[in-house]
């Protein structure tokens, strides 16, 4: 039976997001940003959002557990919102409290789709620093 992907958005603070990134690194998940990059660029007091996009299983690495590949909406130190991907264990995702109402979830899902990618933001920031 195929796993049922939750159709919800969860809010996490920066400390929680760093913990999720550490867990993803421990398991060797392919979609994650390095913890040191996150620590350097995330706004410390921000709220970030996770939206499960697909169930991901590494068939070539059966020892790696099933993950929810989540789109994430991050707030960086400049105050901008950028989007990326993060693989999260289903049990870990389920433990994140449900704190958002339906209208907020829909709004966040729309902002994820419109946000600049982590890569594009990092390239632009590096180019601006070189000027």
Share of the chain above pLDDT 70, in %: 98
Q: What does the pLDDT look like over 43-79, one tens digit per residue?
A: 999 999 999 999 988 777 778 788 999 999 999 999 9
CA dist 21 and 2 (Å) reads 25
CA dist 93 and 97 (Å) reads 9
Is 31 in contact with 87 (CB distance < 8 Å)? Answer: yes
What predicted TM-score, i.e. pTM, was given to this entire model? 0.91
Share of the chain above pLDDT 90, in %: 76
Is 83 in contact with 74 (CB distance < 8 Å)? Answer: yes
CA dist 83 and 124 (Å) reads 14
pLDDT attached to residue 34: 92
Torsion angle (degrees, nearest 10) of CA 18, 122, 120, 67? -20
- Banded pLDDT at 1 (limits 50, 70, 90): low
Is 17 in contact with 48 (CB distance < 8 Å)? Answer: yes
Q: What does the pLDDT look like over 16-30, one tens digit per residue?
A: 999 999 999 998 888
Q: Which of 2-11, 27-36, 96-105 has the highest mean pLDDT?
A: 96-105
């Amino acid at each position: 039976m195929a796993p049922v992907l939750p159709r919800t958005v969860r809010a996490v603070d920066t400390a929680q997001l760093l913990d999720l990134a550490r867990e993803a690194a421990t398991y060797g998940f392919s979609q994650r940003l390095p913890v040191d990059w996150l620590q350097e660029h995330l706004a410390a007091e921000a709220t970030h959002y996770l939206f499960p996009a697909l169930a991901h299983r590494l068939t070539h690495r059966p020892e790696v557990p099933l993950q929810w590949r989540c789109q994430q909406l991050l707030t960086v130190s400049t105050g901008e919102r950028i989007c990326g991907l993060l693989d999260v264990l289903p049990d870990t995702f389920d433990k994140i409290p449900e704190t958002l109402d339906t209208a907020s979830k829909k709004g966040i899902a729309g902002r994820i789709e419109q946000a600049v990618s982590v890569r594009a933001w990092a390239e632009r920031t590096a180019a601006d620093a070189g000027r």
